Amino acid sequence: MLSKNMEKALNDQIRIEAESSQIYLSMASWAEVKGLEGISLFMYKQSEEERMHMLKLVKYVNERGGQAAISALTEPKAVYDSFQKMFEDLYDHEIFVSKSINELVHVALQEKDYATHNFLQWYVAEQMEEEALARTILDKINLIGNDKSGLYLFDRDVQQITVESAAADTQP
Ligand code: FEO
């Protein structure tokens, strides 16, 4: 059974994951309208992943005798100054999510809730991967700067990364 404190902390994380999904969906839509298919596909996939992160938490809270809170979400930005800025936002957001997961782990330890602590290890590992991926992409786009043909090649690169990571996800 989850303590009230643990339940609240997990429910806050449900909202953060749902908001992450909305933020990346907004980025996907913006990139699609701008004609960059690879970046758009990447962001649609990130958005789906965040929804999966949220659902996993919803199921967990309900299974442990709590009730998952499905709350109102903050509307994400609809327009970005540049692709570079958009990827900076993505990276900063992942850092924010990692901090929030760390805080959750801290609460689990305080509450002596070792089942939740164990459950959260998946998120700890996932955040390390997401941060590394965001950093790799950000490094690439920083190399390009405002070069238009560079952006075209970058878009194809990101599409390749998306296809490869989708293939990795389906491996047993
Ligand atoms: Fe679910 Fe990208 O954090």
CATH for 79: 1.20.1260.10
Residue of the CA atom closest to atom 2 of ligand 1: 94
Q: pLDDT (tens digit, 0 to 9) for every residue of the chain, 172 residues total?
A: 999 999 999 999 999 999 999 999 999 999 999 999 999 999 999 999 999 999 999 999 999 999 999 999 999 999 999 999 999 999 999 999 999 999 999 999 999 999 999 999 999 999 999 999 999 999 999 888 778 888 888 999 899 888 888 887 777 6
Q: Is the distance from the beta carbon of residue 130 to the nearest atom of ligand 1 less than 6 Å?
A: yes
Does the C-beta of 53 come closer than 6 Å to ligand 1?
yes
Assess contact for 7 and 125: CB atoms under 8 A.
no
Domain count, the chain: 1
- CA dihedral 17→21→22→26, nearest 10 degrees, is 150
Distance (Å, whole) CA 114 – CA 171 = 29
CA-nearest residue for atom 1, ligand 1, is 50
Task: Check if 19 has its Cβ closer than 6 Å to any atom of ligand 1.
Answer: no
Owning domain of residue 157? 4-170
